Amino acid sequence: MSARRDDQADCDLAILGAGPAGAAAAVEATALGLRTVVVDEAAAAGGQVHAIAPGVTPLPRDVDRAGDAMRAALARSGADCRTGRRVWHLERHGDIWRVHALAEPSEPGKGGVAETVTARALLIATGAVERHLPFPGWARPGVIGLAAATRLLKAQRLLPGREVLVAGAGPLLFLVAKTIVEAGGRVVAVIDARRRRDWFAALPAMATRPDLVARGLNWRRELLACRVPILHGHRLAAVAGDAPALHAEVVAIDRDGAAPSGGASVAFRCDAVCVGYGLLPATDATRLAGATHRFDESCGAWRVDVDDDQRTDRPRLYAAGDGAGIAGAAAAPWAGRVAACAAARDLGALDARAHGLRAAGAKRSRDRAARFGAAMARLANVGDGAHAGIAATTLVCQCERIDRAAIDAAVDAGCTTLNELRSATRCGMGPCGGRLCEDAIARLAALRTGRTQAGVGQPTGRPPLRPVDLDALAGEFDYASLPIGTPAPL
């Protein structure tokens, strides 16, 4: 069976992101006869969960078999896998999607090269970003993200420090701590915002994946065997000092994340802090592509709205993986397959019956795995009490140096939406584009306006998706070739 071809497009399906969802989708799509191009900004396929540094060989105990198998399957699939491409803009003209990317320079010292892929269908599988909860000292040298720590430990084989405090929420806490201990570092403590009873309460949902539960329990057991203190129901309140001599202050919190006034605090000395509060769907690409999003109250996050077949409400635009709602790496490949099947159906490569048969099994597996991932996402969603307690002088937007007081003042002056706050204060308008602080700003705005977080809205999706070198895109040109239009009227 082969897709009806459209000569205007380079390919039938373009896939953004070569992580578990994107790679599985590419394998399925090529099997269904779709000409498929996968674009990823990393040097190798894998996404965050299977990231590798091509020049660093993993130690035998760290060999990522699942990741290697995924890369091998992708390489065999016949999909055109273009790594080292940073996508900066998405457009739909007529029936064709245009994916504008900047390819990595061919050699050091050269600029990148502009590249546009046109496709009849587009799958966005760009994964997640880490949620951060601002605290005094989160901009301090020596403090890094939890997801960053996994990246350093696994792909780069680098310890974040010799004596590390690991803090935040969600399963990454234990993965990072266990990996540090295994690699010979010391974890001075694991600070988990969730109480033990919160974990127990999540067990029924987690029971769909007993293998993952067992793996998590093992990590925890290894940490306790190494006498790593694990403080549940605690949160990192502040980090002071200069790396490598950092002082971390940790406080007990209630179910909503709030630290009762006068509550006891615990101090730790460390040379690095790894902190993060779970994952948020990366919605920048789907917003830019014009899809409708929905706020998921239980996970406290926006996600693109997709149907059971991973279709968004934009024509021939699909989303799969954590970007379509945090469901975890186990669910992502199944969601990717479902999306590929839907694209094949919509492009005429599958009839309704064949589509139904082929997608049904993948949907079941996806949904089973997603229950576990969603439970983890809910667990990592520390309540707004933590945000309510952010001090007026605490930086919320690091790029533009905006503290909480400035955000509250803008709300008091009449700003009611995230877009208005961004205009009024510049928060979230720096080089990171708000990807670090958007969640915190939205929660603070919701608290101050008395609206829900859904009510303060999302910022408008705008290009570029990441900063792009102007010259690399503008390239070489003659002045005479510039399409300068009719002069403005006199």
- Please state the closest distance from residue 176 (CB atom) to another protein, in A: 12
For 254-272, letters b (16+ CB in 10 Å) and e give eeebbbeeeeeeeebebbb
| 433 near another protein, rule: CB under 8 A | yes
Q: What is the DSSP letter of 193?
A: S
Nearer to another protein, 84 or 348 (CB): 84
Name which of residues 212 to 251 contact another protein (CB under 8 A): 243-244
Instruction: Single out the residue of 94, 184, 262, 450 in contact with another protein (rule: CB under 8 A).
Output: 184
| 159 near another protein, rule: CB under 8 A | yes
Residue 219 to residue 426: CA distance in whole angstroms? 42
Fill in the amino acid letter for 263: G
Between the alpha carbon of residue 239 and those of residues 233, 264, 283, 380, 390, the distances in Å are: 18, 16, 30, 21, 14
Strand order from edge to edge, sheet including 186-192: 143-145, 272-277, 163-169, 186-192, 230-232
- Please state the closest distance from residue 483 (CB atom) to another protein, in A: 5
Which run of H or E residues covers position 317? strand 317-319
The DSSP annotation for 97-138 comes to EEEEEEEPPSSTTSPPEEEEEEEEEEEE---EEE-----TTT
Q: For the window 400-429, what string marks contact with another protein as x by the rule CB under 8 A? A: -x--------x--xxxxx-xx-xxx-x--x
- Please state the closest distance from residue 43 (CB atom) to another protein, in A: 7
Name which of residues 97 to 136 contact another protein (CB under 8 A): 98, 100, 108-109, 111, 116, 129-130
Nearer to another protein, 72 or 158 (CB): 158
- Please state the closest distance from residue 78 (CB atom) to another protein, in A: 28
Stretch that binds another protein, among 12-20, 144-152, 360-368, 376-384 (CB under 8 A): 144-152
Stretch that binds another protein, among 45-53, 72-80, 224-232, 311-319 (CB under 8 A): 45-53
Instruction: Single out the residue of 203, 265, 431, 452 in contact with another protein (rule: CB under 8 A).
Output: 431
Nearer to another protein, 122 or 253 (CB): 122
| 151 near another protein, rule: CB under 8 A | yes
- Residue 394, beta-bridge partner list: none
Residue 152 to residue 146: CA distance in whole angstroms? 10
Q: Which residue, among 71, 104, 141, 108, has the nearest Cα to 466 in the 3D structure?
A: 104
- Please state the closest distance from residue 103 (CB atom) to another protein, in A: 13
| 361 near another protein, rule: CB under 8 A | no
| 17 near another protein, rule: CB under 8 A | no
Contact indicator for 67, 73 with CB cutoff of 8 Å = no
Q: What is the DSSP letter of 465?
A: S
